[in-house]
Amino acid sequence: MTDIIQTRLLSKQYGSATAVSNVSMNVKQGEIYGFLGPNGAGKSTIMKMLLGLVKPTGGQIELFGERLLVDSIDHLKRIGHLIETPVFYERLTAEQNLELHGEYMGYYNPQAAREALELVELLGVENKQVRQFSLGMRQRLGIARAISTRPELLILDEPINGLDPEGIHAMRILFRRLRDEWGISLLISSHLLSEIEQVADTIGVIHHGRLIREVSMDTVRASTTEYVEIVTPNVNHAAFVLADKLGIQQFKRTGEQSIRVYETKMTQEALSKALIMNDVPISSINRRHQTLEEYFFNMIKGGETDAASHQAGA
Ligand SMILES: Nc1ncnc2c1ncn2[C@@H]1O[C@H](COP(=O)(O)OP(=O)(O)OP(=O)(O)O)[C@@H](O)[C@H]1O
């Protein structure tokens, strides 16, 4: 898959404050890329730089395989976006708002507005004035407007903010349909892990303006499976017994005295018995499950340690 977005060492300073620092990210064509990070992490600033709404103070951006220059504008027609609260002409209908947008973007397709409204399930209220719309309807209309010009890339900043559970569920289905049926690549931000992990193919974790990690959800899922943690004063012997006597391949030393066994076909009791029979002294043995929260928390903690040691070494 080719990259639809690629940034290299992208940075933004506001005076002496660093909003975004050396971000090198890759969004592949046809995927849903989730930006995950707390408020103020720098997600919106990165999105605005991709859209040319904020000027970077360092680094490079490539969109659709082409380097973005200060005066590049052609790519904007290939991107739909929803950044912050969408603004509409309140006394015009939903459909009129979309038609006006199509004209403004130079996209002439009489079906486009209705198709987009149908996809976000607003067909039926297309002739209502937008001032009568709820928050959830406005959010969906914002997305309809963003996709009504058939973009190849959709950039959505916190699109589920303020939606009720039903609205969030509908949004998730919509994102997948846009990817699968319309072939759109999506960059979506959220400060909620539970939201991003359910919809993203790849997650970019942003913290204090830095991209701490870019990881596929398949890798995340594989890392959050169950394992058995064995604490023993003789790790070498334990490793030998696991591999050579018990034929277990999937284990990892995680400390001076600990080993994690990922292959969990054996029960904890059977494993414990087999180790003792083979003269492995055991201080403790426990079945554990690393949750997604733990996985990302550890990632962020690791990222902070890296940054601290980098600064200390600088
Ligand atoms: N125009 C600006 N002038 C000065 N500082 C800014 C400006 N815009 C953003 N910042 C700062 O840059 C940092 C990153 O903000 P940004 O809005 O990108 O974060 P975010 O991850 O999108 O969070 P949120 O979800 O709250 O918008 C914050 O510390 C913010 O205060």
Span 212-264, pLDDT tens digits = 999 999 888 877 777 889 999 999 999 999 999 999 988 989 889 999 998 76
How many Å lie between the centroid of ligand 1 and the Cα of residue 40?
5
Domains of the chain by start residue, with CATH:
3-215 (3.40.50.300), 225-289 (3.30.70.100)
194-214 pLDDT per residue, tens? 888 889 999 999 999 999 999
Q: For atom 14 of ligand 1, which residue has the closest CA?
A: 42
How far, in Å, from the CA of 18 to the mean position of ligand 1?
10
Question: What's the CA-to-centroid distance between 267 and ligand 1, angstroms?
Answer: 49
Ligand 1 touching residue 19 (CB < 6 A): yes
With a 6 Å cutoff on the Cβ, whether 41 touches ligand 1 is: yes
- Our answer on whether the CB atom of 207 is closer than 6 Å to any ligand 1 atom is no
What are phi and psi for residue 173, nearest 5 degrees?
Answer: -65, -40
Q: Are 156 and 81 in contact (CB under 8 A)?
A: yes
The ipTM, to two decimals, is 0.92
- DSSP states of 34-75: EEE--TTSSHHHHHHHHTTSS--SEEEEEETTEE--TT--GG
Closest residue CA from atom 26 of ligand 1: 39
Q: Would the pTM of this model clear 0.95, i.e. be above it?
A: no
CA of 44 to the centre of ligand 1 (A): 7
Find, among 36, 73, 27, 37, the residue nearest to 53 by Cα: 73
Q: How many CB atoms lie within 10 A of CB 58?
A: 14
